Amino acid sequence: MHKDFADNLALLCSYYQSVTEVCRRLKIHRSQFNKYLRGNTFPARHTLRRICDFFGVEAHEILLPAHQFKQLLQVRPTRSSSAAAAAYSEHIALLQRVSSGAIAGYAGFYFEYYYSMTYPDSILRALVALGWDGEAAYFSRAERLAREHSTERAFTCRYKGMAFHLAERLFLLDYESLTQNEISQTVLFPTYKSRTTYLTGLRLGVAADGLRLPTCVRVVYEVLGTDIDMRAALRLCGLFDRASEAIAPEVKSLIDNRVAESDRHFAAVAL
């Protein structure tokens, strides 16, 4: 039974770009999933239910002899092999392959600075963690909405997304993971220096108020490195007055959203 299950599981995984993608979406550790694929162990009942729900099959079906299960999939495609899902995955996978040679070098932690879309007179400092799993780049952003020196309780917005390096630009696309009420995009200039302090670009999103106005702002990513104290870094995040000495003058200059009268587009500031 374990061997048939392992063979059937491997067949289902073949509809995806990689086993890593399946593990990430199932939220199962890769080393544990490999044990299932090798037939060394069998998942607990609740884990088996998650796996079956994800692939769109029944528990008794995934335990069928491998040749019978293959015939079953041929006459009744799973949700994961539907044309729409496959096409979407192929587009994302293509962009990941194109950008994989360069995006890996940007893995690490950053402070993100821009004039808050909700509080336009305040500078927002957020924490970004960009990771590379060997095939794709994923990142999370944490916005701690608390004013400098305030004793009020802070609350945090958390974003999750994917990052790409395409034609000499960095593209970061994310969504607000707690409320699912916003998708935002950031485009940054890459760096060609051995030691980099800042990356600059534009961020497009919506203000978190009743009007929810689509808004574009200049943004700066400050490089922190690959090994930091995340709790200490998060405590440094928040909302700052434009006159605050906690924000470096060069950062204030790079995120200034003013435009010249002759400008016809709102553009990023290149270093």
Residue extents of the structural domains in the chain: 2-81, 102-254
Q: Is 133 helix (H, G, I), strand (E, B) or coil?
A: coil
Q: Is residue 2 very low, low, confident or very high in pLDDT (cuts 50, 70, 90)?
A: confident
pLDDT of 207 reads 86
Mean pLDDT to the nearest integer, 19-42:
92
Helix (H) and strand (E) counts in the chain: 9, 9
Evaluate the CA torsion angle 198, 200, 206, 210 in order and state its sign. positive
E-strand ranges in the chain read 108-115, 122-132, 137-145, 155-166, 169-176, 183-188, 198-206, 214-225, 238-241
- Report d(CA 254, CA 32) in Å as an integer: 46
Scored b (16 or more CB within 10 A) or e, 46-67 reads: eebeebbebbebeeebbbbeee
Q: Say if residue 194's pLDDT is above 90.
A: no
pLDDT of 65 reads 92
In terms of pTM, does the model score above 0.95? no
Would you say 125 and 247 are in contact if contact means Cβ atoms under 8 Å apart?
yes
Name residue, tokens 């293509």: 94
Q: Is 12 helix (H, G, I), strand (E, B) or coil?
A: helix
Fold entry, domain 2-81: 434 Repressor (Amino-terminal Domain) (1.10.260)
pLDDT of 49 reads 92
Q: Is residue 236 very low, low, confident or very high in pLDDT (cuts 50, 70, 90)?
A: very high
Residue type, 183: I
Distance of CA 163 to the CA centre of its chain: 6
Other Cβ atoms less than 10 A from the Cβ of 80: the count is 20
Q: Is residue 109 very low, low, confident or very high in pLDDT (cuts 50, 70, 90)?
A: very high
What's the burial of 231, exposed, middle or buried (CB within 10 Å: 0-12/13-18/19+)?
exposed
Fold entry, domain 102-254: Lipocalin (2.40.128)
What are the CA-CA distances from residue 63 to residues 70, 98, 112, 189, 194 (Å)?
12, 37, 49, 50, 53
Count how many residues are written for the chain.
271
pLDDT tens profile 175-186: 998 888 889 999
